[in-house]
């Protein structure tokens, strides 16, 4: 731990501001709470929102896991894990079951989460309506009125044009029947894990200066139509490393002759299954 | 003058984590990890919450602003005191039987429902279990409805809160403290009819 920083990098005033915002976020599920996002030692877009939320939560007893697209060993995950090991001296892990706090970019771990775990999402664009309505004043009004017709029209246009809803990630959800919410760019494969999750889920968007929450055991509904129900991705392949037919698969190009393989995106899940298979 | 948290960074972090879990899993009493010294009429558990969440950017309304409590909070937290309940981000209710109606606190703006008051209410105690006098609550954070009684609230408290819940997502978020325990009722927690 580097002693010249306050614990977990942020000063205490900033942490208090974040903590007040987090409590309001939990009290109003799916509502985006504005907060005073600070400049962090890495640029906006690299998970500064998630990092600030994690810094406000972190204590010396926590065990931190950081994943990027499911993997513990990619640049963003390694950097953020090292950052907190350095400025907070906390224990880190790559194992989902050992972690008390998991910061994630764009995936939810395959291993089911527990009540004593908190999941922190890095969010690039917290406003699900932003691509449909650029004005913040207007989207705030739409949320105030619970008027989400725009999003239904967008999904309907997908069906009219492609025959199915073509949104495959950042698939909009309705939280507790009230607020339309971005689940962050997780694949829609992960959307069912948001519904009535035992773990508290917190979302931080640093550049957009918003944070929001989905409390445990809260109804989270992926938008759909009666005749076009919500469906998740399916593969004709199994993971070529661990053989799982239930996890989210990445397609990896392995040579320059068009060779490719499908492997689990969750490296901890895949690794553990391979270890168990050997034993 | 009394001291505040012995270890401000870690004591407030541990307290916050309990408050966050209390808010995320409503209607369940949780022990607070640190109880700082507190001048009357502020209870130590309420003081722990105020020291964890309040500073110069928050305004706090005290139901019973004793000189000693005001001096203590100004010195340790630097907080601003609100003259009216309506203007307060946080309010400390030290005598619930005589508290102002919930409608007098800020419930937020439809575009910004987070700009609403959080109340810290010092009550006599909590009783969970299935006995007849318990109220039943449901909502986000609760896997199944829970039964609970909170002692020491005004007789029409639950009617006042039910009137507010018609205005969701506007509302007031409540922390109840008794002895070492805290229990939260966010605006989304519904009181089930018996």
Quote the percentage of chain B above a pLDDT of 90.
93
Q: Which residue of B has its CA nearest to A6?
A: B9
Higher pLDDT, B128 or A187: A187
Catalytic annotation present for A270: yes
B75-113 in b/e form (b: 16+ CB < 10 A) is: ebbebbebeebeebbbbbbbebeebeebeebbbbeeebb
- Does residue B132 have a pLDDT over 70? no
Q: Would B193 be classed as within a structural domain?
A: no
One digit per residue, the tens of pLDDT, for chain A of length 279 reads 666 789 999 999 999 999 999 999 999 999 999 999 999 999 999 999 999 999 999 999 999 999 999 999 999 999 999 999 999 999 999 999 999 999 999 999 999 999 999 999 999 999 999 999 999 999 999 999 999 999 999 999 999 999 999 999 999 999 999 999 999 999 999 999 999 999 999 999 999 999 999 999 999 999 999 999 999 989 999 999 999 999 999 999 999 999 999 999 999 999 999 999 988
Contacts of A27 in chain B (CB under 8 A): 23, 171, 173, 186-188
Q: What is the pLDDT of residue B154?
A: 94
Complete DSSP assignment for chain B: -----SSHHHHHHHHHHHHHHHHHSTT--EE-S------TTS-HHHHHHHHHH--TT-EEEESS--HHHHHHHHHHH-PEEPSSGGG-SEEEES-GGGPPPGGGS----SS-TTSS-EEEEE-SEEEESS-TT-EEEESTT-SS-EEEEEET--TTHHHHHHHHHTTTTS--EEEEEETTEEEEE-TTPEEEP-
- Does residue B166 have a pLDDT over 70? yes
CB atoms within 10 A of CB A276: 9
Catalytic annotation present for A36: no
Q: Would B192 be classed as within a structural domain?
A: no
The alpha-carbon gap from B155 to the nearest alpha carbon of chain A, in Å, equals 25
pTM to 2 decimal places? 0.96
- Interface residue A22 vs chain B (CB under 8 A): yes
Task: For residue B113, give its domain range.
Answer: 8-186
Main-chain dihedrals φ then ψ at residue A58, nearest 5 degrees: -60, 135
- Interface residue A16 vs chain B (CB under 8 A): yes
Q: What is the pLDDT of residue B133?
A: 75
- Does residue B129 have a pLDDT over 90? no
Distance, in Å, from the CA atom of A180 to the CA atom of A270, rounded to the nearest integer, reads 33
Which CATH number covers residue B34? Answer: 3.40.50.11310
SS3 A87: helix
- Interface residue A154 vs chain B (CB under 8 A): no
Beta bridge partners of A203: A121, A212
Catalytic annotation present for A50: no
The reply to whether residue A33 touches residue B143, judged by beta carbons under 8 angstroms, is no
ipTM: 0.97
Q: Which residue of A has its CA nearest to B56?
A: A13
Per-residue pLDDT tens digits for B20-35: 999 999 999 999 999 9
Distance, in Å, from the CA atom of A22 to the CA atom of B147, rounded to the nearest integer, reads 26
CB atoms within 10 A of CB A195: 15
Structural domain count of chain B: 1
Q: What is the pLDDT of residue B134?
A: 85
Of the candidates B20, B111, B142, the beta carbon closest to that of A141 is on B111
Distance, in Å, from the CA atom of B138 to the CA atom of A179, rounded to the nearest integer, reads 18
Distance, in Å, from the CA atom of A25 to the CA atom of B169, rounded to the nearest integer, reads 12
Catalytic annotation present for A163: no
In this structure, are residues A218 and A175 in contact, taking their beta carbons and an 8 Å threshold? yes
Main-chain dihedrals φ then ψ at residue B152, nearest 5 degrees: 100, 15
The reply to whether residue B52 touches residue A16, judged by beta carbons under 8 angstroms, is yes
Give which of A29, A50, A209 is closest to A121, Cα–Cα.
A50
Q: Would B1 be classed as within a structural domain?
A: no
B122, B123, B128, B134: CA torsion to nearest 10? -130
The alpha-carbon gap from B174 to the nearest alpha carbon of chain A, in Å, equals 10
In this structure, are residues B128 and B148 in contact, taking their beta carbons and an 8 Å threshold? yes
Catalytic annotation present for A30: yes
SS3 A254: coil
In order of A3, A68, B119, the CA distances from A85 in angstroms are 12, 17, 36
The reply to whether residue B52 touches residue A19, judged by beta carbons under 8 angstroms, is yes
The reply to whether residue B20 touches residue A200, judged by beta carbons under 8 angstroms, is yes
Distance, in Å, from the CA atom of A22 to the CA atom of A18, rounded to the nearest integer, reads 6
Q: What is the pLDDT of residue A123?
A: 97
Q: What is the pLDDT of residue B194?
A: 65
CB atoms within 10 A of CB A246: 9
Q: Would B3 be classed as within a structural domain?
A: no
């Amino acid at each position: 731990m580097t002693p010249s920083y306050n614990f977990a990098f942020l000063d205490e005033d900033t942490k208090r501001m974040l903590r007040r915002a987090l409590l309001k976020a939990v009290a109003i599920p799916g509502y985006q709470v504005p907060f005073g996002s600070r400049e962090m030692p890495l640029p906006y877009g690299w998970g500064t929102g998630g990092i600030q939320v994690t810094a406000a939560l972190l204590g010396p007893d926590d065990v931190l896991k950081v994943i990027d697209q499911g993997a513990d060993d990619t640049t963003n995950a390694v950097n953020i894990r090292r950052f907190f090991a350095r400025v907070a001296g906390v224990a880190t892990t790559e194992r989902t079951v050992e972690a008390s706090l998991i910061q994630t970019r764009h995936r939810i771990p395959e291993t089911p989460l527990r009540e004593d775990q908190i999941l922190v999402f890095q969010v690039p664009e917290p406003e699900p309506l932003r691509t449909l309505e650029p004005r913040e004043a207007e989207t705030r009004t739409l949320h105030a009125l619970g008027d989400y017709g725009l999003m239904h029209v967008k999904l309907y246009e997908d069906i009219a044009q492609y025959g199915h809803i073509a949104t495959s990630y950042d698939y909009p959800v309705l939280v507790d029947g009230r607020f339309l919410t971005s689940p962050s760019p997780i694949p829609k494969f992960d959307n069912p894990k948001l519904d009535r999750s035992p773990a508290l889920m917190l979302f931080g968007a640093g550049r957009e200066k918003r944070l929001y929450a989905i409390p445990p055991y809260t109804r989270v509904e992926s938008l759909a139509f009666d005749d076009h129900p919500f469906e998740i991705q399916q593969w004709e392949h199994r993971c070529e490393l661990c053989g799982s037919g239930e996890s989210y698969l990445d397609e990896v190009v392995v040579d320059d002759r068009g060779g490719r393989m499908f492997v689990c995106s969750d490296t901890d899940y895949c690794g553990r299954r391979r270890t168990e298979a050997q034993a | 003058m009394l001291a505040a948290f012995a270890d401000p960074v870690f004591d407030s972090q541990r307290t916050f984590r309990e408050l966050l879990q209390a808010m995320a899993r409503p209607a369940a009493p949780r022990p607070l990890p640190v109880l700082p010294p507190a001048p009357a009429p502020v209870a130590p558990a309420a003081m722990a919450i105020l020291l964890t969440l309040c500073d110069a950017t928050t305004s706090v309304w005290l139901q019973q602003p004793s000189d000693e409590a005001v001096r203590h909070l100004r010195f340790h937290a630097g907080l601003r005191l609100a003259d009216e309940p309506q203007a307060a981000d946080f309010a400390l209710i030290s005598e619930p039987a005589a508290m102002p109606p919930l409608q007098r606190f800020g419930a937020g703006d439809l575009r910004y429902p987070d700009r609403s008051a959080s109340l810290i209410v010092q009550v006599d105690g909590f009783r969970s279990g299935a006995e007849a006098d318990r109220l039943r609550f449901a909502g986000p954070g609760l896997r199944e409805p829970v039964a609970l009684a909170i002692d020491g609230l005004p007789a029409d408290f639950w009617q006042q809160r039910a009137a507010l819940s018609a205005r969701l997502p506007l509302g007031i978020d409540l922390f109840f403290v008794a002895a070492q325990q805290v229990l939260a009722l966010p605006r989304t927690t519904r009181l089930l009819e018996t």
